[in-house]
Structure formats: C-alpha cells, structure tokens
A and B are shown apart, each in its own frame.
Chain A
Amino acid sequence: MSTTMVDPATANAPETALANRARFASLVQRQGALAIFVVVVAVASVSFDTFASQGNITGIAVQASFLAMLALGMTFVIMTGGIDLSVGSVFALGGVLAAWGAQHGTLVAFVLPLAVCGAIGLVQGLIIARGGLPPFIVTLAGLLFARGLLLLLSDEGATTYKVPRGSSFRELAQGELLGIPYPVVLVVVFFAIGGLVLHRTSYGASVLAIGGQEDAADLMGLPVVRTKVLTYVASALLAGFGGVMIASYTSSGVTILGVGTELEAIAAVVLGGTLLTGGAGTVLGTLVGVLLLQVIKNVINQVGSLDSDWQSVVSGTILLLVVTLQRALTRGDRA
C-alpha cells in the first residue's frame, strides 16, 4: 500500500490480495490438519525406525478405524449445525450387543446392535428435529441412556460377553483382504460412500443447506425434519457399527469402552476443517483428523520415555492451535 501511483494493471491488487488471503485461509481451514499430518508422519518416519514399518502402519490404520466410523457420522451431524454426544456410549453398547449376539449366530451379532443403535438415533433425531430441543442436551441424555442400557445388559458391567471360538463373526475385524485388514477396507468404503452422499445426493445438499441456515432451508422447502432425523440415525448406526467392529476385533463386549470417545470424534471432525457452526466441511478432512490423532498417539508410544498422558496433552494442544489458526486467518480476512 506504499505506492500511491495507481497503475491500471494493479488497480485490483488489494482485491486480489484479499481474494488470495481468503483462499489461503480456506486452504488452512480445509487442509491445515493434512499439513500437520504430513509433517508429523515425515518427522516420525525419520526419527523412529519402527514407525514406517508395515506392522506399525497397519496397526495405526486398524486402531484408527473404530474412531473413524464415529467421526464419519459426527461429520454429518456437525454439518447440520448439531452435535452428537451419545456416540461414545452407543459405540460401547453396539459392541456389547454384538458380542452377546454372536453367541446366537453371526447374523444376530450384526442385526441386533444395528437395530438397537438405529432406534436410539431415531428417537434422538425425532426429539431434536420435531421437538426442537437442543441437540447438545438430547444427545447428552442419549449418552446416559445408552450407557445405562449397556450396564443393564452386562449385570452392571460385571459380565463381559465373549464371541465364541470359531464364530465367523470374528472374521469381520480379524480377517483381511489382499493383506489389508477388513476394518481398514470398511472405513475406506464407508468414507467413499459418505463423500458421494454428501456431494452427489439431494440429502447431502440438504445437510449443508440446513447447517448453513436452517430457516432458509425450511423456507426453500427442503425436508429439514427428515434430513435431520436421517442424520442422527446414520450417526448412531455408524457408532453402533464401530462397536460391532471392535467386538469382532477384541472377540468380546468390553463394557468400559467409549468413555470420552464422542469428544475424540468431535476433535477429529474439527481438525478436519468442518465448522462447528455447520454448513461446511469435508468427509476426507475428518479422515485426516482421525489419522492425525491416531498418529500422535502412536508417536508418543514410540518415545518410550514419554508418559502416555502426553497423548491427550498434545492432541488437545493441536486442536486448540488449529482452531486458533483458523480463526486468526478468517478474522484477518474479514477486517
């Protein structure tokens, strides 16, 4: 701005600069987590011989796959401007139901958890979309409800159901396709479907429109209630399916799982660039967010001398840094 001489060719310079800045801001918003992810992976590969080994990479991918399922559903919920605090409990409930169901056949191990979790999602969705109650509160009650149901089913948490030896249900998470474990394959497939649904279907368009401005979406005649209900059902189903996967992986219904997992899922979604105010976001970003959190955990485990409590310190700090950066850039853009 030091030159007062205005060359016609550069007359638009401030505008271009502004546009560039906005583009940069949205790039950081969308790809900030990816950049950090690449840096962390690069540093880790150089620093630790074991990091880049096939076994370790596969381990990270499998460990991340359970959270990825929850985070995928959470992405859609947050894009509608809502939040789903129940997924951690629903995830654990799905696991216990699957392990219990596996004793009665593989089909039961799939159908029962999905039916129960889907029903919880349906009730939450209806209360939120029809009753107009805040998602925060409704899914908080859902968190308590699902955990209570889980305790009821497991004699107050005293019983851990085991998947019978030789049950084909174990294959779901322990088997592999061309050397890639099934959970990883499933996550890739589900995220691909998620991306298609978001960008290629009218449901996806409605999700973004509702998150952008619900009243406007309503006035435009979009099926607001139906879209929201569907979103909460999908979130609960995905969380339940994550539970089914982990029951197969651990061959049991672990009752203490999923405490605080809803917050990890939200963190992954936010790291991935989805705005908590709704209306914008990407499915792929969420996957990067999940992987970033998992890689951080892995790296801290690799540094033998570090306490595992550093995991949460580092994850929390990175989350705060990323959102601060996002805010700082968008704010400069507005000024």
Chain B
Amino acid sequence: MSDGTATATVAERSERSGTRFDIDWVRRNGVFVALGLLLLANVFLTDNFVSTGTLRLQLVQVAPVVIVALGMALVIGTEGIDLSVGAVMALAAALIPLYVGYGSVGAIVIGLVAGAVVGLIAGVLVGVVGVQPIVATLGLMVAIRGVANLFGGEIKSIREPGLVSLGTGDVVGVPYVVVIAAVVSLAVWLVVRRSTYGRQLVAVGGNKLAARLAGLPVRRVLVTTYVVSGLLAAMAGILLAARSQASDPTKLGQLMELSAITAVVIGGTPLSGGQVRILGTIAGALLMQLITATLIFHDIPDSTAQIVQAVIVIVAVYVQLGRGKARRS
C-alpha cells in the first residue's frame, strides 16, 4: 500500500516537474515564439507587410512604448508599479513648447528634469515613507496630469527645427526615435546585468527584508528606480511630442501605463518582483504593437482589436504564471 503510494507520488512528481519544465520554457521564451509566429503569419497573409515603410512605421510607433516599458520593468523588478508614467509623458511634452526659447536642448533638459522630479517624489513616497507603490503613483498620476494641463493648456504645436528633426529625422535610414530606444535598451540591459545597482535592484525586489538585513541600501535603490522610470517616461513624452510636432497634455500618454505594464508582464517579468527581463519586455512591446498593427492591416475595427488584446493578455499571463496544472491540483 505504502509502496504504491510512494511510486504514485514519484511518478506524479516527475510528471509534474515535466510540466513545470515545459511551462518554464514557455514562460521564458513564449513571447519570442509568439512574436516570430505573428511576424511569419504577417509576411504571408498581409499585403505589403515586407516593406521598409511598414517596418519603419511600426518601429517608430513602438519606440516610446519600449522606453517607458523598460523603466516600468525596473520598477516591477522591485515589486513596485508606476502608474504615473503617462502623466509624466504629458508633463514633459507640455513643458517643451514653454521652454523652447532656451533652444531645443534646454527645453529637452527641462522636460527630463521634470520627469526625474516626479520620479523622485514617487521614490521618496515608496522608499522612504513606505506608501504602497500603486497608491503613491496613482496619486501622482492624477495630480501630474492636472499640472501638465495647467502648464500646457490647449494643444501647442512644436516648430523648433532641432526638435522636429529629432522626432522625424533619421540616421542612415533609421529614425532617431528608434536609435534612441535601442540605445536606452542597451543601457538598461547593461545596468541590470553588469552594475551593482542592477544586482541590488533584483535583490530588493526578491525580498526587501532580506536585502535590508544584508545591508543593501534599499531606500536608495527604490528611489533611484522611480527616478529612472520618471526620466524614461519624460524622454518618451518628449519624443512623442517631437514626432507629432505638437503637445496635447490632455491626451498624450493616456493609457501608456497600461501598455507598458502589459509589455513587461507579457515579456515574462513577474509582478511579484525579483526579476527584470529586458529582452522579454522589448519583445512584449513589439508583440502588442504587431498585434494592433495586424488587426489594423486587416481592417478589424478598434472595438474588436481591444477585445482580442484583452483575451491575449489573459492567455499570455495564464501561460506565464505556469498555473495551468502545476498549481492547486
């Protein structure tokens, strides 16, 4: 009797670990596989998909999402969340037309500083005061959107040649916006993989108490992370405004926090912190962009596109959490 049970358990365990292995693999690489499959499907099924024009448009559109999502990935790595990113984008964009008198570089610096300041407030609230990230950044999201509107007022156009070329120009055929997103991606990847801060971030996200007991500067890591997220969001806002040659503080960056979170989660970074997956996040952003684009290519209306996205998010997270069979059985 006991023998039978033992065997069953062993069999069960090996079966279970088998499933878990597969799910683990899917979790880590599912987003890349899905992206590859969708690309392939488009190559065959969508007319004019394989053209530099299409590629360019898609990359230009996804670039700001990637930049924001990278900051979000860092924040989520600390077991946090940053809902203020969309509002920060709007604030940075709203400041540009006001300070363009200082030249495009001056205006950009002011926009970036504003983003960093908002990030600093969020970081202090979360890291020092101990407010839950979702509440702290929710309050900031509401307040900063208001501030952006107060500064920006109605839609203002941006005519400064430096900014216009930043938004629409390119270097050897690759748009600046895409180059910047690539450079930021590389930088964030290096920071996470190679720097002390990167290792500390992962440790803090994994277990704050343990990190504190191990003598890591938990507060400093948290504050830095939110500052980086604010800075990246501001950068994305400026790029978006430069590209559209206008800043509309009411609309700009709206729902960006949700796109960024979706990209991070689909890319395999768990919301519970302790892991940051940079390549996954980029692939997640690309995948969501490609899904939207595919639906548009095939004249599927916005409504259906949103419903499809909702289903994809649920399925992706379901697979990633590996909670199919392994859990609660």
Contact = CB atoms under 8 A, between A and B. Distances in A.
A311 interface: yes
Interface in B195-211: none
B307 A277 contact: no
A152 B306 CA distance: 10
Given A276-B132, A316-B139, A323-B139, A141 B313 contact: yes
- What DSSP secondary structure best describes chain B's contact surface? helix
B293 interface: no
B317 A134 contact: yes
A131 to B, nearest CB: 6
Contacts of A259: 254
Interface string A206-234: 00000000000000000000000000000
A168 interface: no
A145 B145 contact: no
Interface stretch (B23-31, B41-49, B181-189, B257-265): B257-265
Count class of interface residues, chain B? 35 or more
Interface stretch (A45-53, A110-118, A183-191, A262-270): A262-270
A110 B3 CA distance: 61
A315 B265 CA distance: 30
Interface stretch (A5-13, A35-43, A241-249, A324-332): A324-332
Contacts of B310: 141-145, 148
A137 B125 contact: no
A283 to B, nearest CB: 19
A132 B303 contact: no
Contacts of B313: 137, 140-141, 144
B9 interface: no
B271 A276 contact: no
Interface stretch (B171-179, B279-287, B320-328): B320-328
**Residue of A141, A149, A267 ringed by the most chain B CB atoms within 10 A:** A141
Interface in B281-329: 301-311, 313-314, 317-318, 321, 323, 327-328
Nearest to A320: B139
Contacts of A141: 309-311, 313-314
Interface of A: 83, 127, 131-134, 136-138, 140-145, 147-152, 156, 259, 263, 266-267, 270, 276-277, 307, 309-317, 319-320, 323-324, 327-328, 331
Interface of B: 81, 83, 125, 129-132, 134-136, 138-147, 149-150, 254, 258, 261-262, 265, 271, 301-311, 313-314, 317-318, 321, 323, 327-328
